Amino acid sequence: MARIDPYFLLYSLIIISLPAPLTYADGAVGCLYPLTQEFVTSPTVTEIPTPPFSSTRDLYRGADGLYGEDDPTQHPQPYNSRFPYMPCIPKQPHDPQDPYYPHRFMWTQITKHHLDFTSQGAVRGEGVLKSIYIARLDDAIGLVRERLKHWKTTHRSGTNRFFHCLVVGKTISSVRVFAELRRCWLTILAILEYDEKIFPRIRGIDPLPTSLSNTEFCIGAFVWNDADALQFFKAGLPFYYVRHYSQFDRQNIIEVKPFQQSGVCMQAANPPYSLIYTGQAGSDDKFAAIYKASVQCIAGPSPFSNMHLPGQYQSSYNLSGRLSSPAESSVSVLSSQIASSTGPIRGHSATSSTSKPSYLRDRPSGGGKSKSKKANPPQQQRDVYADLPADHPLVPTLPSAWSGIKKLIDPKAFKTESKEKLKTIVPDPSLLFGSDDTRLMSYLTQWRHVRSVWLKHCRQSQSAQPAVDNGVWRKVLGQQLFNDTEEGEITRIVNRQHQDAFDAKRLLLDIFKLHAPGTPMKPTSPVDISGTEAKKLIRELSLINFHYQLLALDYLVDKSRVRIGTSAQLTISTTDHDQSRNALISKIFAGGDVFTLSSDVSDQGILAPDWAIRIVSLRAFWQLMDSWPGEKPALWNRGADGNLHKMQRAGEEWERALAIFYVQTYYYHFGHPPVLPTRL
């Protein structure tokens, strides 16, 4: 038996000897997108352009002053009934039989070769359109004027304002102005086409002509339901019907092809324009944003008043999620609540005893007379949702995208069974800071002494070293267990404070005995730590903890990990999966491992100060979290924009959305805020 083409299961070929008429649900051509299990058909055309992938898109002008595949004057958009004339936009003519072929200059991208310059104008990049091109503009505007004269004879209301829009352009001060002139020209033609031909057909006033008319040269639209598809079919307008595989039911599709690339300019301006809209491709707000930008084109502020870094680069939109109809719900912004200014408080142990700890030497009580104890001053309780004190000279810088995001955590959004105390693989930097800077330097001195031994132990442990409770780290750094001999034991556990002291001493005894025998567990003499070294140590603590917590969370929530299969299958799939996840993690931190920074003298990876470098790591961070559960923020798909590495402000908005999603996801699964990364 001959091999069956898999596409045979998705369509039935029409037998030439027994032709069957195509309906609105059939296709002269069909395109498949297996990732979302959707197919697109059209009975009236032979090529289908790339659909508006992703329900959330960024809108900004390109090098030609237009909006790439999101511009309704040069690429089919999702059908919006509030703008019914947009499918009638003339498409770029290539055939001499096309009625707009004589005016194909209107689809030209203006470059310096189209301009005449003075000596000073050439330096500034300002020129005037050459006379030959001015004449072509006049011809194109003349076409609209002639059609409007005919239209005016049958439409008596509202014509004055319509005609006031028509002026003859003599100079072009910017590519943007020419793009808006073209937009105006195409839009007027589309309105005339819809009013004179399409609307009468929809109302049944005029029959559908059997011969070619100007409507066959329209751009068309994407539709998602039978009603719109049938209306386009009856009116003779090109349309592209998007459906899920499950909706396939004996439709006739003559030919299956890949999507046709649009060929429109996707290169950004140099310097690039600002974003004017983020949302669905077919929404009212998108078309309103384009209209507003067009109105402000001449009299409005400079488009570069809020510009990003200069650059020339390519853009492409990749599919993330299924195709979305304009009528479907959009991706909502990650819900978040701002915590109170104090936030939840991490209290001290309620069972603290007033008796002296067993590791403190008993002192005489003064002849047995009881002395009233002086009450300890109340300690300021730490806000676990607060950042490190930004005004402290030893605190490394928190990236702006991460600043204050722990305050945005919804404190009620966590899994009840996951609520636990904060544990970290190295001390949490927030433990170091309080009202007493003397304690800070004492803690740092002790950590510098313990650091190399502890990190060596973590790297060489055959099984992963578990994280350590904050109370234990506080005892390790505070040296509160060293009043007796180092080999002495804590003989009586009275409360949690004693337990932490006991665990801290066990931890230090074990690692020093194993990795540094003979070395004392605390510095033998005080050594000054410079401000620069202190800041490096604190930065290292934040990055190691961030790296460790990111790995722990990814292992817990990653939905792409294969968890079902035979032992051999799981071994292979897990190995491949871990390799791909490790590659993403490596990109996030620009190399190194959990316990080794890629550089101790400069900020790399996700903390790189250069945006063009940092975005590489941010994209890896985005790809890693893409397989995590939870509602993604509205800006999530912005990471697919190939132009983003030159659009710093838009990119930093996206970066902050990633950070907020990360901290909320971490809090949901662990019940406490994560440690955030800092830079020098």
pLDDT in tens, 344-394: 333 333 333 333 333 333 333 444 444 444 555 555 566 888 888 888 888
**Distance from C-alpha of 284 to C-alpha of 288, rounded to nearest angstrom:** 6
What are the tokens at 14? 């029409």
Does 271 sit behind a cis peptide bond, omega within 30 degrees of 0 on the bond before it? Answer: yes
Classify residue 121 by its DSSP letter: H
Angle between helices 437-460 and 496-515 in degrees, nearest 10: 50
Give backbone dihedrals phi and psi of 218, rounded to 5 degrees, phi first: -85, 165
Token pair 């059609």: residue: 147
Amino acid identity at 634? A
Amino acid identity at 667? Y
468: which strand partners? 424
CA–CA distance from 424 to each of 87, 198, 588, 616 (Å)?
A: 58, 67, 20, 27
What are the tokens at 633? 């923020």
Asked whether residue 678 is assigned to any structural domain, the reply reads no
Token pair 């290539």: residue: 94
pLDDT of residue 465: 82
Q: Please say whether the dihedral angle defined by the alpha carbons of residues 157, 161, 167 and 172, taken in this order, is positive or negative.
A: negative
Average pLDDT of every residue of the chain:
77
294 and 407 fall within a common domain: no
Give backbone dihedrals phi and psi of 454, rounded to 5 degrees, phi first: -65, -45
What are the tokens at 539? 């930065």
**Contact (Cβ atoms closer than 8 angstroms) between residue 251 and residue 26:** yes
**Contact (Cβ atoms closer than 8 angstroms) between residue 201 and residue 234:** yes
Stated length of the chain: 680
pLDDT of residue 229: 92
Is residue 480 very low, low, confident or very high in pLDDT (cuts 50, 70, 90)?
low
Into how many domains does the chain fold? 2
Q: Is the pLDDT of residue 284 over 60?
A: yes
601 and 462 fall within a common domain: yes
Average pLDDT over residues 541-561: 91
Average pLDDT over residues 79-96: 90
Asked whether residue 484 is assigned to any structural domain, the reply reads yes
pLDDT of residue 503: 84
**Distance from C-alpha of 670 to C-alpha of 482, rounded to nearest angstrom:** 33
pLDDT of residue 416: 65
Q: Is the pLDDT of residue 586 over 60?
A: yes
Burial tier of 249 (Cβ tally within 10 Å: 0-12, 13-18, 19+)? exposed
3-class SS at 428?
Answer: coil
pLDDT of residue 220: 93
pLDDT of residue 186: 93
Question: Which residues have CB under 8 Å from 143's CB, separation 6+?
Answer: 103
**Contact (Cβ atoms closer than 8 angstroms) between residue 380 and residue 435:** yes
Q: How does pLDDT run across 420-432, given as a tens digit for each residue?
A: 778 899 999 888 8
Higher pLDDT, 120 or 32: 32
Q: Across the chain, which distance is largest between two alpha carbons, in Å?
A: 119
Amino acid identity at 149? K
Asked whether residue 210 is assigned to any structural domain, the reply reads yes
Report the alpha-carbon angle 215-71-138, nearest 5: 65
pLDDT of residue 152: 83
- Helices (H), ranges, 414-525: 437-460, 470-478, 496-515
538 and 651 fall within a common domain: yes
Higher pLDDT, 407 or 318: 407
**Contact (Cβ atoms closer than 8 angstroms) between residue 538 and residue 395:** yes
Is residue 209 very low, low, confident or very high in pLDDT (cuts 50, 70, 90)?
low
**Contact (Cβ atoms closer than 8 angstroms) between residue 66 and residue 264:** yes
What are the tokens at 42? 């059209």
679: which strand partners? 397
What are the tokens at 32? 């498949």
Burial tier of 519 (Cβ tally within 10 Å: 0-12, 13-18, 19+)? exposed
Q: Express as a percent the part of the chain with pLDDT over 70.
A: 76
pLDDT of residue 370: 45
CA–CA distance from 385 to each of 217, 282, 421, 669, 676 (Å)?
A: 59, 39, 14, 16, 11
Average pLDDT over residues 397-418: 85
Q: Is the pLDDT of residue 225 over 70?
A: yes
Asked whether residue 229 is assigned to any structural domain, the reply reads yes
Is residue 73 very low, low, confident or very high in pLDDT (cuts 50, 70, 90)?
very high
pLDDT of residue 262: 83
Residue where one domain finishes, among candidates 281, 299, 317: 299
What are the tokens at 393? 């000279």
Consecutive H or E run containing 142: helix 131-152
Average pLDDT over residues 535-553: 92
Higher pLDDT, 147 or 15: 147
What are the tokens at 387? 């950042």
Asked whether residue 542 is assigned to any structural domain, the reply reads yes
Q: Is the pLDDT of residue 646 over 90?
A: no
Q: Please say whether the dihedral angle defined by the alpha carbons of residues 635, 641, 643 and 644, taken in this order, is positive or negative.
A: positive
Helices (H) and strands (E) in the chain, counts: 14, 11
pLDDT of residue 661: 95
292 and 404 fall within a common domain: no
Angle between helices 648-670 and 531-557 in degrees, nearest 10: 70
CA–CA distance from 193 to each of 201, 235, 291, 353 (Å)?
A: 11, 12, 20, 87
Asked whether residue 272 is assigned to any structural domain, the reply reads yes
**Distance from C-alpha of 283 to C-alpha of 325, rounded to nearest angstrom:** 10
pLDDT of residue 162: 47
Is residue 481 very low, low, confident or very high in pLDDT (cuts 50, 70, 90)?
low
Q: Is the pLDDT of residue 489 over 60?
A: no
pLDDT of residue 676: 92
Q: Is the pLDDT of residue 300 over 80?
A: no
State the Rg of the chain over Cα: 34
Angle between helices 131-152 and 175-193 in degrees, nearest 10: 30
Classify residue 57 by its DSSP letter: E
pLDDT of residue 529: 84
How many Å from the N-terminal Cα to the C-terminal Cα in the chain?
68
569 and 421 fall within a common domain: yes
520 and 651 fall within a common domain: yes
Q: What is the 3-state secondary structure (H, E, C) of 274-294?
A: CCCEEECCCCHHHHHHHHHHH
Token pair 């961070």: residue: 621
**Distance from C-alpha of 425 to C-alpha of 564, rounded to nearest angstrom:** 31
Task: Count CB-CB contacts under 10 A for residue 284.
Answer: 13
Consecutive H or E run containing 243: strand 239-244
| Range in 128-142, 252-266, 514-528 the model is least confident about | 514-528
**Distance from C-alpha of 237 to C-alpha of 190, rounded to nearest angstrom:** 12
pLDDT of residue 124: 73
**Distance from C-alpha of 388 to C-alpha of 67, rounded to nearest angstrom:** 42
Residue where one domain finishes, among candidates 247, 264, 299: 299
Consecutive H or E run containing 653: helix 648-670
Asked whether residue 160 is assigned to any structural domain, the reply reads no
Question: Which residues have CB under 8 Å from 571's CB, separation 6+?
Answer: none
Residue where one domain finishes, among candidates 238, 264, 299: 299
Question: Which residues have CB under 8 Å from 391's CB, separation 6+?
Answer: none
Burial tier of 90 (Cβ tally within 10 Å: 0-12, 13-18, 19+)? buried
3-class SS at 468?
Answer: strand
**Distance from C-alpha of 255 to C-alpha of 48, rounded to nearest angstrom:** 11
**Distance from C-alpha of 191 to C-alpha of 188, rounded to nearest angstrom:** 5
**Distance from C-alpha of 15 to C-alpha of 135, rounded to nearest angstrom:** 51
Average pLDDT over residues 124-141: 85
| Range in 55-64, 391-400, 568-577, 647-656 the model is least confident about | 568-577
436 and 576 fall within a common domain: yes
Consecutive H or E run containing 424: strand 423-424
**Distance from C-alpha of 62 to C-alpha of 311, rounded to nearest angstrom:** 11
**Distance from C-alpha of 515 to C-alpha of 534, rounded to nearest angstrom:** 24
Is residue 343 very low, low, confident or very high in pLDDT (cuts 50, 70, 90)?
very low
Domain range for 551 is: 400-670
Asked whether residue 151 is assigned to any structural domain, the reply reads no
285 and 431 fall within a common domain: no
**Distance from C-alpha of 653 to C-alpha of 655, rounded to nearest angstrom:** 5
